[in-house]
Amino acid sequence: MRKSLQNAFALSAQAQQPKFKALAFYSTIVEPDHVDFARDCISFYTKMAADRNFVFDTTTNWKKLNPANLKDYQVVVWINDFPQDEAQRKTFEDFMENGGAWMGYHVSGYNDGTTKWPWIVQFLGATFHNNNWPPLPAKLIVDDNTHPATKSLPKNYVAPITEWYGWKPNPRDNKDIKVLLTMDPANYPLGKKDVIRGGDIPVVWTNTRYRMIYLNMGHGDAVFNSPLQNKMFSDAMLWLGTGAK
């Protein structure tokens, strides 16, 4: 009887242990629409963490992107910003090169000629080229229905309103990049003030050298209005945190 109780307590304690720990970084001194997205993103994943038994911590203090702090986490999320100094950048590089996982939304993947961080260009396989304005919904093509992050998606769907980025170089040209979602050419011309008139525009992808996913959604307060898209966001987090298939 005593052994059975000990086993029961052990199993109970094991069940209460979180499956993984994620740390999400965001900023409040950025575009208002990016702050709105951060609020909704944090709400979404906080609820999901409670339902699916993982830790989702958040911070606006990017100095916490340091080795001592990250040792307690398996997943890093950039919601609406990115590291600015060399120490934070080096910490993130080491985290990813040593098996950490990353999820980045929208502006977190922004880089241009002023960024001066060659590693992030290699990591993302892309550099910002253009965008549409105002934010609009868009029909997306699902390139891969077998990836854990996109397994629940149909062959195409209409994504809620956001601002969409074009890329040059195109991430698809990088042999390590696996594109998961692409802008449907039927959307073009996309925009009114700033218009994307054509081109191959990946929207969601992963660099197969790492456990990472970039999602171009992330502008405004409508991004989490699609149950289909939300399932992708959920599946992506579980894949990053647990290796779920």
Give per-residue pLDDT as tens, 154-186.
999 999 999 999 999 999 999 999 999 999 999
Residue 11 has pLDDT above 90, yes or no: no
Q: Please report, as a single letter, which amino acid is at residue 79.
A: I
Residue 37 has pLDDT above 70, yes or no: yes
Residue 86, burial from CB neighbour count under 10 angstroms (0-12, 13-18, 19+) = exposed
What pTM value is reported for the model? Answer: 0.93
pLDDT category at 13 given cuts 50, 70, 90 is very low
Q: What is the mean pLDDT of the chain?
A: 94
What pLDDT, on the 0 to 100 scale, is given for residue 14?
A: 55
Q: Please report, as a single letter, which amino acid is at residue 6.
A: Q
Q: Which domains does the chain have, with CATH numbers?
A: 19-242 (3.40.50.880)
Tell me the average pLDDT across 178-195.
Answer: 98
Residue 115 has pLDDT above 50, yes or no: yes
> What is the distance between the alpha carbons of residues 149 and 127, in angstroms, rounded to a whole number?
23
Give per-residue pLDDT as tens, 44-90.
999 999 999 999 999 999 999 999 999 999 999 999 999 989 999 99
Rg of the chain over Cα atoms, rounded to whole angstroms, equals: 19
